[in-house]
Structure 1
Amino acid sequence: MTEPEPIEIRAGAELPANREEVQLHTADGLTLVGELATPLDRPPVATLVTLHPLPTAGGFMDSHILRKAAARLPALADLAVLRFNTRGTSSPRGTSDGSFGEGIAEREDVAAAMAFVAQRGLPNPWLVGWSFGTELALKYGLEHDIAGAVLLSPPLHRTTEAELQRWNGSPVPLVALIPELDDYLRPDAAAERFAVLPRIRRIDVEGGRHLWVGESQTRRVLDEIVAAVNPAASPLPTTWPVPAEQARSSG
């Protein structure tokens, strides 16, 4: 049987995966809507618990990097990807109960996501926060049994120096992608703010912007996530189906 001709993976690609609409339940009585994507024919090696950008500025579970992570990484990197709307946030999936909590009440949302991961037995959970989501990861991540955290475009608006320093006492790896042209925190300022956290792996991305728009920036972000979480699958293929020789070398 002739194998299908590989196609280039571009913005709208949704590769094969199990996709399940899920609900998360917070300790303060809210129901949050979300989606879990897992590899089609094998168990995941790790789990991405994604935390979206600021909902009052248009952030939600379908913010494009998170949507593309769910569309690509179960197939390309054997990762489970959990996306959900924090309280009061709407997307085509639906609207989560409650109202925006300024990053304070959302502590319960992070806890609900981690409880779901534990209930499902999903392995090696990594928090992947983007913008506002990085604040939630930094503030509340160490309250849970996480394997690591990846920060995309951290603004550090709500995170205190004491909350940053707390990560020095943990062996959990922490990776931050800092866009060169960020709207809020550029590499020089990030170096100063993160100076209290010398163990962080800070990656300054030349030409990067806060919203990581464009396929080249998307690929860079997803490659860095996979390099941290499942390095055996890095670098990611750029075509689908994956050529047999590349699949063998990363499998």
Structure 2
Amino acid sequence: MPIGHRDDTGASGCAECAARRTCPASGEDAAAIETIRVPRDAALLRADQLREDRVYIVRSGAFKRVSPHPSGALHVTAFHLAGELLGLGAPGQLRHGSYTVALEDSSVCAITFDSPGASPPRLLPALNDALQRECKSNQFLRQPGCSRRLASFLLDIGKRQALRGYSDRMLRLAMNWRDIASYLHMAPESLSRSLLRLKLDGTLTLHGKHVQLRKQSVLRELARTPAVPALPPTAARH
């Protein structure tokens, strides 16, 4: 079972929910919604846990998805913000393949499907959006160049905040930089150097968990620019 505390707020609390602007389940029958509070660092879902006929929507806070690596290490594969779906899996997948962990004290709304394996029709657009976001993330994570991946990540977080009515320039990052480095397939030291360069040239400023994107055009250009491959030692001497 998911780790958390049940709260029978249900759909009656939709009007006060910070995620109502983008929540696909806003206004659903209260009997179909279970609100679960998840403390910071607690797992909502665990790897190898049997899948249930339900989906989760982040009501407040944020989560990271962490996948076990064959080496025994854990790798961050996704971040989920308020109003976004959790617990998705491939058709026919019987168990979850990763952990879903709260980055801060958070809560989710759990919606049980009426029939096994059938998603509620109202959730289908949100399911499609989540899959498209996953594909887009996979694309920019394959980009060469640490700064390029970092720029794409910051712009992506800004867009997701804007969908919820917040600024796309002043980001509040619930995740720490080590988790971000893991997600971006970067060493923490490489991430620090990339951040420092962007800070020194005035592209962004850092204020604790807040990042202000002062030059979004620079980040967009950086995200589009292919990395220049390093010359082999023999060519560099000519």
Q: TM-score, normalised by structure 1?
A: 0.27
The structure whose Rg is larger is 2
